[in-house]
Structure 1
Amino acid sequence: MQMDINQLREIEVYRKTNVLAGESGLSNEVLNVTITDAPDAFPWYRTGDFIVTTGYPFTSNKDWKEGLWDFLNEVVKRGGAGIGIKMGRYIPYLPDRVIKFADQNHFPILELPGEPSWTDIIVPAITEINKQQKYELEMTHKVYKRFQTLLKNGSSLEELAELLENFMDCPVTIYIRAFNLIVNTSGVELSQGKVEEIISGITAAPDHTARTIYTHREDFTVRWNYNASRLVSTVFVWGLNAPLSAWKKAALEQMAIITSVETERLRTIANTYQHFRNDFLDTLLSEHTLKREVILRRAKEVDWEMKDRYKVVILDCPEDNTNEGDLPESQRKLNILGDFTNELRWLLPKTLTGLDSQNHLILLVTEDVDEGTISKNLKLMAERLKIKIIVGGLGRTSELESLNSSYKEALLALKVAETEAQGAPRKDMQLWMSDFARLDVERILFSEDPRSESEKLVKEYLHKVIEYDEKNGGEILTTLKTFINNNANYDATAKVMFVHKNTVRYRINKIRKLTTLDPDKMKDLMLLQLAVTAHDLG
């Protein structure tokens, strides 16, 4: 650790000094001790200088108060550590504004004893500074050598963390966020959830940016590793809250570099693995029919534990929120996928993730998770990842062998969401999510094959009606057509069909139960009309 003014005052000749002002700056680092004996010596002042003086140079051609004020301002501006004055002969006392200025700027002003010579004051301090600087150099060399030796021997991240703990004399936690990898040294049992909680508390502060390197708190120091705006990893040193010496900073920087290299190694492996997962996912979502045993075998090959039924979610981030505009689109999407996968491990732990052939982000969500839960967790994820806008489409639950159906529905829903998002005023964070199950007319308007989608509507909404009529010799479908043709008027429908109005009401109520649509609502009636028209044409 470099000498500070507190340590300077432990040297024999400085023990009789009095602190006249700026006591809060006694921890200022002292890099040099020098004397000023000329009024124009300002250009030679350097950062970390502790300057000793009688004050004579400031009184030779101006009032001593003005001379002292100018001197003090210049030293503070140039990053000086503090000043020591032999009071009495030229500087009788410190004016109030000088004391106030020194206190505000944490700049110590010491009263030096009058008896010792300048040599007796300066030489012991310079000797101690040189001694400490030599120690810093030796320790820095030792840090590099020890880390280099362990790396050559192929030591693990755990062994490297223990080495850092030895140098820092404090417990250490290394966290590689993208891969949920956490390494704690002795005495620390910190979970990933707790680390994420600490990170969220710090990164939410307005003064924290992707350029922040160190954060000091009462009970720890953390070194951040960012890649563009994405937090990659952190190194926590617990119990360390003082400024770092040069060699301790070197040790922490070595660990940060090693962590970054390890992160890239893991990313390369993960990207290769994800490539196989994406290929499997693409096949799973295609129109090719795979037997369940084949699907489960291939899922095991890519380390996926698959459930019986899923709903497909397709996501896109249309704006570049990652500050990675110089990366190829495929790599940018892989990076986003990695972030999403990491977050979803906590938010929706059973969800499987990948990219389709169009580089859309695909989520396979288990059937027990509803649309509200999906949207809620996507918003939380976007806030944590600082993503401005997410557009998504949600398909209905499908069997494992027929996920292509849910995928097609999610694609159509995505188009609806994209249309809704276009031209909408931008806010801090927006999620445009469209659920296929809630669509009606849009299913035909946004479909690439309107006829096929119309046939699905017939099957979905009229199948039970037709089946009921055939089984009971009823006229439910005929009543629906007549009701539509008479602008949903009960009296007119009853008149045309030669039945009582209550009979019409009974049949319309039966349609509600069989189709889950309400003919009294304009939107549902329009959907039923489309289904009836498609049925008549087909």
Structure 2
Amino acid sequence: MNLSLEDVLAFPIFETAKIITGEKELSKKTVEWVSVIESPVENFVRENELVLSTGIGCYTDPHLFFDFVKDVYESGACALAIATGHYIYRIPEEIVDFAEQNQFVIIDLPWEIRFADIIHELTNAINNLQKDELLRLKELQQELLEMYLTKQPFSTMVAVIEKELGQSILVMNNKGNVAGGSARIRDVWKMWNDMKQSQEEEDSHHPIFSKMKRAESRDAQLFHMKVQSSEQTEGDFFIVTPPSYKMTLRDANIIEQAVMVCALWLTSENAIVENKNMLQKEFVLSLIEEEGIPEKTIRKEGKSLGYDADLSYECLIGYPENLETLFYQDPNNNHQTKKSWLENMMSYIETELADAAQSIQRQIMYVQKDDKMVIFLQTSEKASQSASSGTINQFLDLVDRRLNKLLPGVVVSWGIGKYEDGVMAFYKSYQKAASALEVGRKQKGIGKRYHFDNTKISRLILTLSKNEEVQEITMSTISPLIEYDRKREMDLIHTFIVYNENSGNVSQSARVLNLHRQSLLYRLRKIESLTNLSLTNPDDVFLLDFSIKIWMSSGNQLAAGSQSAR
């Protein structure tokens, strides 16, 4: 609770005082100190200080008096009370105009009111207020500790802190996962990335300010403190405030108590969560790496970790294609190693996956294997193929939106597969999803969703591409096109693909390729002359199309192998 200037001027001692300027600002001004100052001001006035003055040092010089008032205003004082009737009889119009323009409060005090009486009353009021605040701080400390000891939900404790501060906060554990708070993680993450690494107010004597960092944007400020216990970081504590907010000593005291209790809670919670998280991931890893685990074992271990293995699940494997590129493109990563940045990103992505599953009320099992995200997503109790696809697309649409807000420009490829319903289907569902991801990336390119059931032709081609005789036929068919494209950069292979996809329609193909019709006809004749195949012969078209698909499924590596063999 703050002592406002309006409260102060309601004291009986100010009954005969007159407010000259800034009457509308009284409720907005906070009084933290009171002092008697005469010219010069220099650095003797603190912010939110009520300044008392007789004007003795400047009453004979109107310009000097004006400068004195201006200096008091610029020092951050909440108001200037001038004793009139001895040295100053009337406050000059130019000073009144200046104060009105700057919404600065000037008070006319009758000469009979003694400054000592004002200081006595105001000091008592400030001391009483500080005692009340100290008492409330002790009560808050006891309340938070009681909540911790009685194992109240962390979100409840955070809500108490937010109410006391009147600001939004966010608490993260040491894995970067949100533990509690109403502040938006995306806003916090963006400002945290842009943090200036500058310490808070240098003139504050509270020790907590030396541990606090601040960032600011056009719309908000972000204050950050590490949550530590025994020199070990347990998490991060963030406060999000309006741009105009200035942290008070009262707020600093509240934050100090809050961070202390958060450290207690996170220390125990991190150990529990980390152990459970590790066991969950080991469990999911065993499902995708070991075939033939007894059903009873899967059910029992899954239940102990909060999973219902009898639900209907579909396997999704996500591969972030360009995380390293995004790291090097981000100018704010100078203070992070690539390894720590990537680890943080995968941790944030894991949080977004869990939040997306929770949003659609589906259970999720997750593990990171190498640089891929392996997910078993509950589709429904007993899902039909169409219902399952709808759930997966809803989930991935939500994930894509979340990831693009967290990491603009991120490209993720997804492999999707399901063997059947049942406890014993996890291993084979994973194999299908892995196959769909591998085949899909080679055949369709990156950044798409590839379902195993839609990759039959691609898988057939991938299998055939490993046959030496098929490789030889392929290269004897298309090597002239590859060589010509390399020398002339005409891209005849892409020209044929577009022409074939448009069922041999020259006009439509020309529009897709952004070519003149005659230019396209020239390219098609060149393809026929180089391959000795006719694009009007279905068998020749099939052979050329098949050879291109085989070549593309190998990652365009057959040409290099063929050339090195010659």
Aligned counterpart, 2:336: 325
Aligned pair 1:117/2:132, yes or no?
no
TM-superposed deviation, 1:9? 0.6
> Partners in 2 of 1:453 and 1:103 — Cα distance?
91
Determine helix, strand or coil for the equivalent of 1:72: helix
Corresponding residue for residue 511 of structure 1 = none
2:67 maps to which of 65, 70, 87:
70
**Residue 259 (structure 1) aligns with:** 262
Out of 121, 127, 131, the position equivalent to 2:124 is 127
Partner residue, 2:316 = 312
Listed one character per residue, the Cα deviations across residues 241-281 of structure 1 (whole Å, up to 9, x for unaligned) are x9998557634652354235424533332222222222222
Shift of 1:45: 1.9
Match of 1:435 in 2: 450
Letter in 1 for 2:277: Q
- For residues 107 and 418 of structure 1, what CA distance do their matches in structure 2 show? 68
Instruction: State the secondary structure of the residue aligned to 2:34.
Output: strand
Deviation of the 1:175 alpha carbon: 8.0
| Structure 2 runs not aligned, ≥5 long | 196-212, 228-233, 380-387, 420-424, 471-530, 559-566
Equivalent position to 1:90, from 73, 88, 92 = 88
**Cα distance change on mapping 1:413 and 1:487 into 2, 3 Å:** same
Check 1:52–1:449 CA distance in 2 against 1; reply closer, same or farther (3 A cut): farther
- 1:177, distance to aligned residue in structure 2 (A): 7.5
User: Given the alignment, which residue of 407, 410, 415 partners 1:387?
Assistant: 407
Cα distance in structure 1, aligned partners of 2:270 and 2:166:
27
Of residues 432, 435, 447, the one that matches 1:406 is 432
Which shows bigger deviation, 160-169 or 334-343?
A: 160-169
Kindly tell me: are residues 106 and 450 of structure 1, through their superposed partners in 2, closer, same or farther at Cα, counting changes over 3 Å? Answer: farther
**What is the SS of the residue equivalent to 2:347?**
helix
Q: What does residue 281 of structure 1 align with?
A: 284
Structure 1 residue 342 displacement after superposition: 3.6
- Does residue 451 of structure 1 match 2:462? no
Counterpart residue number, 1:358: 370
Q: Answer yes or no: is the 8 Å Cα contact 1:353–1:363 preserved in 2.
A: yes
Give the direction of change, closer, same or farther, for the CA distance of 1:373–1:453 in structure 2 (3 Å limit).
farther
| 3-state secondary structure, aligned to 1:339 | helix
CA contact (8 A) 1:161 1:255 kept: no
For 2:130 and 2:262, the matched residues in 1 are separated by 28
Distance 1:201 1:260, change over 3 A: same
Paired residues of 1:394 and 1:433 also in contact (CA < 8 A): yes
Specify the SS of the correspondent of 2:121.
helix
Paired with 1:362 and 1:411, the residues of 2 have a C-alpha distance of 11
State whether residues 194 and 215 of structure 2, in contact with CA within 8 Å, keep that contact through their aligned partners in structure 1.
no
C-alpha change, 1:344 and 1:208, in structure 2 (3 Å) is same
Residue in 1 that maps onto 2:274: 271
Give the 3-state SS of the residue equivalent to 1:259 in structure 2: helix
Q: State the match for 2:51 in structure 1.
A: 51
Once the two structures are superposed, what CA deviation does each residue of 1:158-183 show, in whole Å capped at 9, x if it has no partner? 6995899699799999987888877x
Give, in whole Å, the separation in 1 of the partners of 2:128 and 2:290. 75
Per the alignment, do residues 454 and 330 of structure 1 end up closer, same or farther by CA in structure 2, a change over 3 Å counting? farther
Name the counterpart of 1:22. Answer: 22
More displaced stretch, 72-81 vs 165-174 = 165-174
In structure 2, distance between residues paired with 1:139 and 1:157: 21
What are the equivalent positions in structure 2 for 1:111-510 lying under 5 Å apart?
111-141=108-138, 143-144=140-141, 146-147=142-143, 150=146, 154-157=149-152, 199=184, 250-251=253-254, 253-259=256-262, 261-286=264-289, 288-290=291-293, 294-306=297-309, 307-316=311-320, 317-318=323-324, 319-320=326-327, 325=336, 332=344, 335-336=347-348, 338-350=350-362, 352-365=364-377, 366=379, 367-369=388-390, 372-383=393-404, 386-399=406-419, 400=425, 401-409=427-435, 411-412=437-438, 432-435=447-450, 451=466, 487=533, 489-490=535-536
Q: Is the 8 A contact 2:82 2:108 kept in 1?
A: yes
Classify the secondary structure of the residue corresponding to 2:52.
Answer: strand
**1:290-314 deviation digits (Å, cap 9, x = unpaired):** 4656544443343222444513222
Residues 126-184 of structure 1 deviation map (CA, whole Å, 9 limit, x = unaligned): 3333343344445445544x358637x923336995899699799999987888877xx
* Cα distance, 1:59 vs structure 2: 3.4
Change in Cα spacing, 1:170 to 1:339, as seen in structure 2 (3 Å) is closer
Structure 1: how far apart are the matches of 2:389 and 2:457?
Answer: 27
Q: Secondary structure at the match of 2:389?
A: coil
Kindly provide the amino acid, as one letter, of the partner of residue 119 in structure 1.
Answer: A
User: Aligned residue for 2:34?
Assistant: 33
Runs of 5+ consecutive residues of structure 1 not aligned to the other structure: 183-194, 237-241, 421-431, 456-484, 497-507, 509-518
Q: Is the 8 A contact 1:315 1:390 kept in 2?
A: no
Seen in structure 2, the aligned counterparts of structure 1 residues 414 and 6 have a Cα distance that, compared at 3 Å, is: farther
Residue in 1 that maps onto 2:492: none
Q: What is the rounded CA distance, in whole Å, between the counterparts of 1:158 and 1:341 in structure 2?
A: 23
Aligned pair in 2 of structure 1 residues 204, 312: CA closer, same or farther (>3 Å)? closer
Deviation of residue 343 (structure 1)?
A: 1.8
Residues 200, 52 of structure 1: alpha-carbon distance in 2 compared, 3 angstrom cutoff: same
- Which residue is equivalent to 2:12? 12
Q: Deviations over 1:429-478 (max 9, x none)?
A: xxx44536677999799x899528999xxxxxxxxxxxxxxxxxxxxxxx
Aligned length: 437
Corresponding residue for 1:464? Answer: none
Aligned residue for 1:343, secondary structure, equals helix
Name the CA shift for 1:348/1:204 in 2 (closer, same or farther; >3 Å).
Answer: same
CA distance in 2, matches of 1:24, 1:232: 40
How far the C-alpha of 1:411 sits from its partner, in A, is 4.9
What amino acid is aligned across from residue 155 of structure 1 in structure 2?
T
Distance 2:252 2:111 in 1: 39
State the shift of 1:396 in Å: 3.4
Q: CA RMSD in A?
A: 5.5
* 3-state SS in 1 of match to 2:99: helix
